[in-house]
A and B are shown apart, each in its own frame.
Chain A
Amino acid sequence: MKILVLAAHPTLEASVVCRKLLAGIRREAGISVVDLYERYPDFNIDVAAEQKRLEAADLIIFQHPFYWYSTPAILKEWTDLVLEHGWAYGRTGKALEGKFLMNALSTGGSADAYGETGKNRFTVPEFLAPIAQTASLCKMSYLPPFVVFEGRRLEWAQLAESAGLYKDLLTGLRDDRIDPRALARYRLANNAAGKLYGVEAKPA
C-alpha cells in the first residue's frame, strides 16, 4: 500500500511530537510526506498537484496536533479546495474510491480527559466524526486514529516509543503485514499495538 502523510503543524520547528513522529517515517520508501505549512505558507493550495498526489496513494494520513478538537486550519482549507465535487464526491466523483483515510494526532490532554466522564466530554473518535464522514462521502474507508496523548508531558523515552509504534504501524500497512480491516475493529489504532503491530507482535 502506498502511503501519503499530509503533515500540518503551523510551528513544526517548535513541535515535539509531530517532528519525532515524522523523523521516524521520513526516509521510508513507499511513504511520502508532505509538509503542508511549508508547501503552502500563503494557503494558496495547488489543487491539481494535490489531487495527483492523492490519486497515487492508497492510504492518506492527516498528521497534526489536535487543535480545538480538530485539525489546524490548513487541513480544513486543503479539504475545502482539494476534495472537489465531481472528483472526490458526487455522482462522478470516484477518484478516492476504495482508498483509506486516517488521522495521526497528538493531544495536550490525557487519555482520561477524552470520554464521557473526562473534562473534554467526548472521545477522540467522536470529535473526528466530520473527518470520518468526509471519508465516507468520498467512498473511502476511515481507519481508527493513532493518538499520542499528553504530547507535552511525555518523557523522551515514551515519545521515542510512540514514534517507534507509529513507524511500525505505517510500515506494517505499507507492507500489507497489517490487515486494514482488522485494524478497523479497534477504537484507536493505539489499541492494536502489541497485537497487530509493535514490539510484542508475533509474526503470524
Chain B
Amino acid sequence: MTLHDFLFGAFIYLTAAAISVPVAKRLGLGSVLGYLIAGILIGPYVLGLTSGDDVLHFAEFGVVMMLFIIGLELRPSLLWMMRQSILGLGGMQVVLTAFFIFAAGLSFSLNWREALAVGLILSLSSTAIVLQTLRERGVMRSEPGQNAFSVLLFQDISVIPMLAMLPLLTVPDFWMGININEANASHSMIDNLPAWQRAPLVLGALVSIIVAGRYVLRPAFRYIAESRIREAFTAAALLIVVAIALLMETVGLSPALGTFVAGVMLADSEYRVELEMDIEPFKGLLLGLFFMSVGASVNFALIAADPLLIAGLVVGLIVIKLFVLYLLGRVFRMQVNSSLMFACFLAQGSEFAFVLFSFATQNVVLTQELANKLIAVVAVSMALTPLLLIAYDKLIARRLQAAPEEPEYDEIENGETPAIIVGYGRFGMTVGRLLAANGIGFTVLEHDPSQIELLRKFGWSVYYGDASRPDLLHAAGAEEAKLLVIALDDRDQILSVADAAQKHFPHLKIFARAYDRRHAFELMNAGIENVYRETFGTSLEMGKDALHALGFRAYKAHRLAQKFRTHDEQSLREMAKLIDDEEALITETHKAQELAERLMREDRQSAPDMDDTDWKAPPPELRERG
C-alpha cells in the first residue's frame, strides 16, 4: 500500500464518518447506525469507494481496545459478584439460542453438523454494537445493561471452545489435514504443537497476564508517569494492549479476552483512569472504522438475489433471540420492561460470526454459499439493532412506563461511586475520610505520583491524573457521579477544574475549596454555589475559644460565632458581585465589618435583657395574667 492509497482510504472513511455520524446522532439514531450507514454508502454497492474487507480485520482491534477499557472498569470483586449472571444467564442464553437455531436448521434440511455449527455461531451477539449502545444511552449500570454485559462476557469466553469444537464437526475424512488456526491471519507459533503441549502454553499466557497486571505494570506505569511526558504514558498504554493482543494471537486465544483480563487486573490500580482516557480515542476511531467496514461488507448482491430468504432468516434470527432473551430475563427476575430492553439489546448476530463462519468453511463444516448468506444475515441483523431499540423506545417503553414513584426523601446514594474528590491532600482527605466512614464510595484523582504511592500504602484507592481535563473527569465517572469535591491546593487549578466540570457535566454538584476571600469571590462569580474557605472554619473555632477564654460563657461564644458565620457568608456573597470595583469593595468591606460589630453588640446587650424580661422574670403584663 502506498502512502497515497493509505491517505485516500483514510480520507474516504473519515469523511463518511464526519458526515453521517453527527447526522445520525441528531436524528436520534445513535452513532452505531450512523457508522453502519456511512459504511454502506462508501461500500461496493452504493459508491464503490471501498470493499470494507481490507480494513475489517484491522478495525477489529477497536473491539479489543474496547474490552480492555471495559475490563478497566470492572474490579475483580465486581466480576466475582456477577458470576451468577455471567454463568447462569450467559450460559443459558448460548445453549438455548443455539438449540433453537439448531432445530430450525434441521427443519431447513441442514445436516446435524451444519445445524449445530450455525446454531453455536449465531447464538453470539455483537459485543461492539451492544456495548457502544449501552454506553451511549447511559444504561451500562442499569439492570438490563449489567445483564446484557454478563451475557456478552460469557459469549466472548465461549468463542474459545467454539473454535476448538468446529473442526470436530467436520466430515471425518477431512479431519487429518485440517489446521485449527488456519482461519487466523496471523501465524501461530504453536500451531504444530500437540494439544497436551498447547494447553499449558495457553494457561501460562493467561497466568502471565494476571501476574504482570498485578506486579509488573504498576511500577512500570509509575516510572513512566514520573517522567511527566504525556505521550510516553499514551505509548505505554497502547503498548500493553498491542502486546497482549499479540500474545493471545500467538497462543490462539481471543485477543479481546486477553486484554479484558489485563484490564480487570489493572482496574484496581491508580492509573486506571489515565489509561482509560489514553486508549479511549483510539478505541473510538477504530470501533467507528469497524462499524463502517461491517456496513461496507453487507453483500447487497446476495441479498438482492434472494431477498425473501434473507429477510426471512433475519426475522427468524431476531425473533428466536428476542424470545430466548426475554424468557431468560423473566426467569432471572427482571421486570417485563427491563427484560424487553435486555432482549432488544442482544437480538443480533456477532462480529465473531464473520470470523467463525469463514473458519467453519475452511474446516469444511459449512459450504461457502451457506456461510455467505448467513454472514449477510448477521450483518443485516447488526444494522437493525439500533432500529430495534428505537422501536422499543417508541412503542414499548412509553406504554409500559409506570408512573415513576417519586422518592419521599433523597435516598443515600448506593451507586458505586457517587462522589469524585479531586486533590487528596490534607483538605480532601478529611472530606474523604468522613464519606468513607459512612460507606460512601468515591473516586480520587491526584496528580502527584509520590502522594499516590503514600496514600495507597494507607489503603486508599487513588488514581493518577490531571482533573482539569474533561475527558479525565469523564473517565473518573463524572457521568454517573452526583458530587464533585475540588480540594486541590492551587487556586488556578481549582478554577479550571470547576470550569471544566460545569461546562461538561452540568448535573454535578460542585463543592470547591477556596484559598481565601478573593478566591472565593472568583469561584462564586464563576457560578459555584458551594465554596469553602480553607481556613475559615478553623479560625472561627479558634475565635470562639478565644472569646470563651476571655470570660464569655461557652454557649454564648458559640452563638456569637454562629451569628458571625451567617453574617460573614452573606456579606461574602454580596461582595463577590463587586470584585472588579476595588473602591466599592473596600467601602463594602468596611460596611460589613461595622454591621458585624453592631450585630455582635446587639446580641451582647440583648442577652441579659432577654434573659430577664422574656424568660426568667416575666414582664409586668405577663405577671398580671399568669
Contacts and interface: CB of A to CB of B under 8 A. Distances in A.
Contact of A44 (B408, B562, B613, B625): B562
A19 B622 CA distance: 38
Contacts of A80: 615
B562 A12 contact: no
Interface in B57-90: none
Nearest to B563: A44
Given A42-B562, A90-B621, A91-B621, A19 B408 contact: yes
A22 B619 contact: no
A85 B613 CA distance: 8
Contacts of A19: 408-409
Interface in A82-139: 84-85, 89-91, 137
A26 B614 CA distance: 35
B566 interface: yes
B565 to A, nearest CB: 8
A26 B621 contact: no
A178 B261 CA distance: 69
Nearest to B613: A85
Given A42-B562, A90-B622, A91-B621, A13 B615 contact: no
A199 interface: no
Interface residue range, chain A: 10 to 19
Nearest to B620: A91
Contacts of B625: 137
Contacts of A44: 562, 566
Contacts of A89: 622
Contacts of A90: 619, 621-622
A23 interface: yes
Interface in A1-49: 12-13, 19, 22-23, 26, 42, 44
Interface string B609-624: 0000111000101100
B408 A84 contact: no
Nearest to A89: B622
Given A84-B614, A85-B614, A90-B619, A26 B566 contact: no
A90 B615 CA distance: 12
Interface string B589-626: 00000000000000000000000011100010110010
A153 B408 CA distance: 22
A13 B614 CA distance: 35
A19 B411 CA distance: 13
A12 B566 contact: no
Interface centre among A12, A23, A89 (most CB of B within 10 A): A89
A13 B621 CA distance: 43
B563 to A, nearest CB: 8
A26 B408 CA distance: 9
A42 B565 CA distance: 12
B562 A23 contact: no
B619 A85 contact: yes
A85 B622 CA distance: 10
A91 B624 CA distance: 11
Contacts of A22: 408
A13 B409 contact: yes
Nearest to A23: B408
A135 B613 CA distance: 19
A12 B409 contact: yes
Contacts of B613: 85
Contacts of A85: 613-614, 619
Contacts of A12: 409
Nearest to A27: B406
B165 to A, nearest CB: 55
A148 to B, nearest CB: 17
A23 B14 CA distance: 55
A22 B622 CA distance: 36
B555 to A, nearest CB: 11
A47 to B, nearest CB: 11
Contacts of A91: 621
Nearest to A20: B408
Contacts of A137: 622, 625
Nearest to B411: A13
Contacts of B622: 89-90, 137
Interface in B538-563: 562
Nearest to A42: B562
15 contacts: A13-B409, A19-B409, A22-B408, A23-B408, A42-B562, A44-B562, A44-B566, A84-B614, A85-B613, A85-B619, A89-B622, A90-B619, A90-B622, A137-B622, A137-B625
Given A44-B562, A137-B622, 9 more contacts: A13-B409, A19-B409, A26-B408, A80-B615, A85-B614, A85-B619, A89-B622, A90-B621, A90-B622
Interface of A: 12-13, 19, 22-23, 26, 42, 44, 80, 84-85, 89-91, 137
Interface of B: 408-409, 562, 566, 613-615, 619, 621-622, 625
